[in-house]
Amino acid sequence: MEESPRDLVRNGVKEKLARNELVLSMTVRLVRSIEIVSIAQSAGFDSFYVDLEHSSFSLDATAQLCVAGLSLGVTPFVRVPSLAPDCIARVLDGGALGVIAPHVQGADEAARVVRAAKYPPYGARSFTAALPHLKFRSFPSAEAGAAIDAATMVVIMIESAAALDAVEAIAAVDGVDMLFIGTNDLCAELGIPGQLDHPMIRQAYAACMRACESHGKHLGIGGLNANPALAAEFVELGARYVSTGTDLSFLSTGAASKARQMRERFSPRPFN
């Protein structure tokens, strides 16, 4: 029996979220080579996202990482640097199984992201043959487009007071899969920079969770890697996607810990 496009393109994160399981993600913004994807898999992450908003990665490097993720079963997402349709389409064509859209302020912007990420009739994404998701094989456009649409996630970041005010309308947009709270940016926008456990943040998570429950969407946590107890509180609330930190922070933290450990254990005795 011949394989169909739906046999070839699967989104493990989407499947886990549908089963109400916890998804752990790491952010890639330092390491440009595909070894980081293998490390993510060995470490037990379900997903990673390449952060084009806060890095100097090229589109080529981003695509190589995404293709490695497809091959290794670690779901690749990209946080895009802008909401421009060509920016969204190109990272998806390069191998991403979802886009994370920052600084969305309302439902109209969320709908434009969906339109750029989905093929007709649901969107306006231009179709190209032999995508990496399908192992560069050719299939009828209708079958390939439907399979890729079904596997592609649209993740909308909630990072401002305006977005919070519009969260019900954003969650109601067809094609939006997840609301992802950028907690640090939200703190800054609300005038409480760095106060991750402020009551306003708890209220924001509660409001986003209610919107997700009302419209069948999922909730993601970002920016709380330094406060795992608070992240656990929001998982208990119902969030299921957790961004755990960046490759840069993991390397820096691990290196600093090892250097401190070695100095404490092997510090030579002073001469008399």
3-class SS of residue 18: helix
Asked if 212 and 171 touch (Cβ cutoff 8 Å), the reply is yes
Phi, psi of 28, rounded to the nearest 5 degrees = -110, 120
Distance (Å, rounded) from C-alpha 260 to C-alpha 257?
Answer: 5
What are the tokens at 272? 């008399």
54 is catalytic: yes
Instruction: Give the whole-angstrom CA distance, residue 83 versus residue 62.
Output: 17
Comparing CA positions, the residue from 101, 74, 64 lying closest to residue 11 is: 74
State the Cα–Cα distance between residues 67 and 59, nearest whole angstrom: 12
Neighbouring residues of 224: CB distance < 8 A, sequence distance ≥ 6: 183, 196, 230, 231, 234, 242
Tell the residue number behind the tokens 């519009």, with chain if given. Answer: 166
Which among 54, 103, 133, 218 is annotated as catalytic?
54
Q: Is 129 exposed, middle or buried (0-12, 13-18, 19+ CB in 10 A)?
A: exposed
Cα 204 from Cα 201, distance rounded (Å):
5
Residues assigned a catalytic role: 54
